[in-house]
Copies of this chain bind each other. A is one copy, B any other.
């Protein structure tokens, strides 16, 4: 199933498709056309067909996509058919917000441990997740079979945290700190930050 050279743009659209397909599933809708998907998601239907065609022949002429089947396939492509344990590092305001959001994470994805350098926060439980001291990072990641990490520390600490994570089994990092993180080729880092989001939106004003 693993197909190489799929662009990041395609990979970023798959969860969007999955979210709406899951909504359709809950509405008991059985099939959907790329036209309808495109209308709702504001994406060109030809783009949707092309995106999905990278992974196989999922649609049928005149019928469209079978909702449940496509959900299952996208989950497989995104490896969401496995349970994925996530760590969060940095229990400040944003860290708190994301931990509170944990209940909404779906598709077998769960934040199972949080970390902070502040010893006062160690042992705290935020929205069901225990906060450990950063020094326990390696041990807990091993113990809880954690595969992904979310960085919500201040900018000046982000690279050091990333370096520590790269000494563990972690292969995917979502960085909220407003700084570019350098990582080895075998570790995938996505950056997300409010400032750059707002700045790119500003272009359209």
Q: A interface vs B, CB < 8 Å? A: 6, 8-9, 11-12, 14-16, 18-20, 40-42, 77-80, 84, 86, 92-94, 96-98, 100-101, 104-107, 109, 147-148, 150, 171-174, 178-180, 182, 188, 190-192, 194-205
Q: Contact: B180 with A190, CB < 8 Å? A: no
Instruction: Indicate how many identical chains form the complex.
Output: 2
Find A101's partner among B93, B104, B191 (CB 8 Å cutoff). B93
Residues of B within 8 A of A41 (CB): 180
Within the complex, the shortest CB–CB distance from A93 to chain B, in Å, comes to: 4
**In the complex, A86→B180 CA distance in Å?**
25
Residues of B within 8 A of A188 (CB): 201, 204
Find A200's partner among B14, B171, B200 (CB 8 Å cutoff). B14
**In the complex, A109→B193 CA distance in Å?**
14
Q: Contact: B172 with A109, CB < 8 Å? A: no
